[in-house]
Structure 1
Amino acid sequence: MQKLTRIITLTVALLMITGCSYFGVYKRDLPQGNLVTEGMVEQLQTGMNRQQVVGLMGSPLLEAPFDASQWDYVYRLDEAYGGVEQRRVTLTFAGGRVVEIEREGDFSKAPSLSDERGIGPDNETVSTTQGAPLDNVTPDRP
């Protein structure tokens, strides 16, 4: 009986130890920040005002808290089973106009964004239901 208890205990312990490492943990790519592409950066020019920059690049991820003359657009992609890709564009303003554009990172290739298949409706389903009338839908009212 003691042998059976030892064998069962050892088997359970081995299963618990190997169970955690045998089947890897699911990871996914984690994009963060402003998506900055080479085309967007090429359109930036010194002399542009803040509204033109926001229209082209969107609102900045970081704005200097004590001096609003510097905007940072940062994009970071932490690949699940790979490395980290980071891009940064820093714009310096003087008198409401861009005076300096600094680039950091590799803008030559497009960022690899994974396709989220299996989550949410398919593109075909969305396109066929967008024009459908909402007959029996009543709004929620408090």
Structure 2
Amino acid sequence: MQKLTRIITLSVALTVVSGCSYVGVYKRDIPQGNLVTEEMVSQLQPGMTREQVTYVMGRPLLEAPFDTREWDYVYRLDKAYAGVEQRRVTLTFDNMGRLVNVEQQGDFSSDLPVSTDTGAGPATETADPITGINAPSQRVPTSENATAP
């Protein structure tokens, strides 16, 4: 009986230690879509052409499949240890391709944390392993292109 108790206790302890962790798991913010800021939306004016809107906002994430007069810019940020923040801008154009209406959804007043993560990642063939910056290519002299002293 005592041996069975030890085996059960050891099994439970190994299960808890190996698979179950009371320490939190690392999570990352997950941005998706077109980054839309208040500054970008404030530059939009009725009467702008599609090219001008593309210059300010970039290409839309969604174009209505049955009505090409409507463009949707959607940005969704799934915060690791918080909720989800979503911003949406719907632009409507007239038949001549001029901007008619700008509709906003979401909180544009707060700045979104945009990660410029330049951390370690896979190195390229010409990258410096310390800094991760591509090094200028260097030719290795061979017997064909080497000059005699």
TM-score (norm 1): 0.79
Residues 103-122 of structure 1: matches in 2 within 5 Å? 103-114=104-115, 116=117, 118-120=119-121
The residue that corresponds to 1:140 in the other structure is none
What is the Cα deviation at residue 20 of structure 1? Answer: 1.8
Question: Aligned equivalents of 1:101 and 1:93: distance in 2?
Answer: 9
The unaligned stretches of length 5 or more in structure 1 are: 138-142
Residues 3-82 of structure 1: matches in 2 within 5 Å? 3-17=2-16, 19-82=19-82
Flag the structure with more relative contact order, 1 or 2, with Cα contacts below 8 A and sequence separation at least 6: 1
TM-score (norm 2): 0.76
Q: Once structures 1 and 2 are overlaid, which stretch shifts more, 8-17 or 99-108?
A: 8-17
SS in 2 for 1:40: helix
| Bigger CA radius of gyration | 2
What is the Cα deviation at residue 32 of structure 1? Answer: 0.4
Q: Give CA-to-partner distance per residue, 1:79-127, whole Å, 9 cap, x none.
A: 0000111111000011201100001111112101245364348xxx46x
Identity %: 58
What is the Cα deviation at residue 6 of structure 1? Answer: 2.8
How many residues are aligned here? Answer: 132
2:135 pairs with 1:135: no
The unaligned stretches of length 5 or more in structure 2 are: 124-130, 141-149
Q: Which has the higher helix share?
A: 1
| AA partner of residue 88 (structure 2) | R
